[in-house]
Amino acid sequence: MRDLGERLEDILEAIGHIERYAARGRAAFENDELIQNWFVRHLQIIGEAVRALSDEVRNAEPEIPWSKIIGMRHILVHDYFSIDTETVWSAIERDLPELKRKIEEMRKNM
């Protein structure tokens, strides 16, 4: 079983993988099915790592929208035919930078 540090590192690595291709911009994302799938896969990894965190850990950081992250993972895994690329891009552009900052802070404070 992976410990807290490993789970946090999983999240940060997945964010890094997304950032590498997000730098190409929205047009590249919209026009490249491989990039779309890359982002979805790494968002799934983030959601799975978050889901595996203990309630104690999640409760200690209430400003992080844990349930929304887990909910997005559920949609990406189980409702894959209804994935909205607008929502995926918005999460990457709007939410990932702040999540990265908070996860880095959590890891630093361990």
Q: Please identify every residue annotated as catalytic.
A: 73, 78
CA 59 to chain centre: 18
Closest Cα to residue 102, out of 64, 45, 72? Answer: 64
The CA dihedral of 56, 95, 78, 28, to the nearest 10 degrees, is: -150
Q: Please list, in sequence order, all residues whose beta carbon lies within 8 angstroms of the beta carbon of residue 76, skipping any fewer than 6 positions away.
A: 40, 43, 44, 47, 83
